[in-house]
Structure 1
Amino acid sequence: MTNFRSPTARSHNRTPVTIEVMINGVLNFVDGRIVDLSEAGARIDGASMPARSRCEIHYAGEVTYAVVMWSEFDRMGVRFPYELTHGALYNALRSARRVKPADIPPAFLSQRTTVFGRRGLS
């Protein structure tokens, strides 16, 4: 029996991040923010370029090449022609994956411990 994967299945886990970058298109530089990153691609908010166009992502003095897969008014999804295996973006991805869910405080008041005041005096 052959193990069939759909063409849209992702082989890499996406990781939520907040990375300020500069995108170089054919004619202009645009500021953007990577909010979703994997070894194969990223979602960039605040920047938009035509689908199927090529661009450069500038971060920490390094350049990562990408192809725009989809685009909306203020965000786009890009695919890296070469998988991230080293460099500044890869290091940022590894750092984001090291953060454990236990390190993040609970979002809902019902999940927080009972304390007095902003400083947590009890």
Structure 2
Amino acid sequence: MTYSASHPETRKKARIAVDIPVTITTVLDSFPANIIDLTEYGALIAGPAPRKGTQFQIDYEGQTLFGFVIWAEIDRFGARFPFNLHDGPLYRRLEQARIGHKATDGLATGSWSPAMMPRIPGFGRRTH
């Protein structure tokens, strides 16, 4: 199955819940953050959010992965990778999470999941 930004069902199925502490570095700053969902094409990252369009790098266990911000809220942002994630420590974590996801028939095991978020109307959703 290939990813298509214009096909939301494909994107929805490809997202895997994870909890991976990383370091985000932009031209102006460096800060800790957590990847809370991951695919080969991008991630949802919790932490201080750079502005939309900002280029950055993710550092994790000696691996550096480049990305850019496609949307941002105060405490999280969506990242797109210009080069697909296909090897290294982050890819191994993604594969491990997929195996765990399949083994539990779609239930998150010991990691963050959207079901853990409190339901507050309008919070955490982009409005534009």
TM-score range, shorter chain: 0.7 to 0.9
| 2:18 aligned partner | 17
| 2:72 aligned partner | 71
CA distance in 1, matches of 2:7, 2:34: 24
The C-alpha deviation readout for 1:3-40, integer Å capped at 9, x for no partner, is: xx772534560000000000001111011000000010
Unaligned runs of 5+ in 1: 106-122
Q: What does 1:24-103 align with in structure 2 at a 5 Å threshold?
A: 24-99=25-100, 100-101=103-104
Distance 1:50 1:8, change over 3 A: farther
| 1:7 aligned partner | 6
Question: Which structure features the higher share of helix residues?
Answer: 2
RMSD after superposition: 2.2
Distance 1:8 1:21, change over 3 A: same
Q: Which contiguous aligned blocks of 4+ residues in structure 1 show a shift greater than 6 angstroms?
A: none
Identity %: 34
Distance 1:8 1:49, change over 3 A: farther
TM-score normalised over the length of structure 2: 0.72
Which structure: larger Rg?
1
CA distance in 2, matches of 1:17, 1:76: 15
SS at match of 2:40: coil
CA distance in 2, matches of 1:87, 1:42: 16
Question: What is the CA-CA distance between 1:62 and the residue it aligns to?
Answer: 1.0
